[in-house]
Amino acid sequence: MKAATKETLIGDVIKDSPEAKAVIQKHFGSGCFTCPGVNMESIAFGSTMHNLDPQKIVDEINAVLEAAAGSPSSSKG
């Protein structure tokens, strides 16, 4: 997955970045995994609904993605 932004859909993070699921669960709860709205709702929208700072969540997701990209198990070959 490319870097997340405030406009990245929550569902895309869940679907494309298994390693970032924990960040979504930490901030939004496990309800996001079964809610049909995740396919339409951005990180910014979800953050507003949960009274959270969207940039903090984006930064955490991107840190997890960068760490996963740098780990030996993430290389293909």
| pLDDT value at residue 73 | 55
How far is the C-alpha of 57 from the C-alpha of 72, rounded, in Å?
A: 25
| pLDDT value at residue 69 | 86
How many Å separate Cα 70 from the centre of its chain?
A: 18
| CA–CA–CA angle 42, 43, 49 (5° rounding) | 90
Query: Binning pLDDT at 50, 70 and 90, where does residue 75 land?
Result: very low
Q: Which two tokens stand for residue 46?
A: 């979800």
**pTM for the model:** 0.84
| pLDDT value at residue 30 | 86
Q: Encode pLDDT of 6-46 as tens digits.
A: 999 999 999 998 889 999 999 998 888 888 888 999 999 99
3 state SS of 34: coil
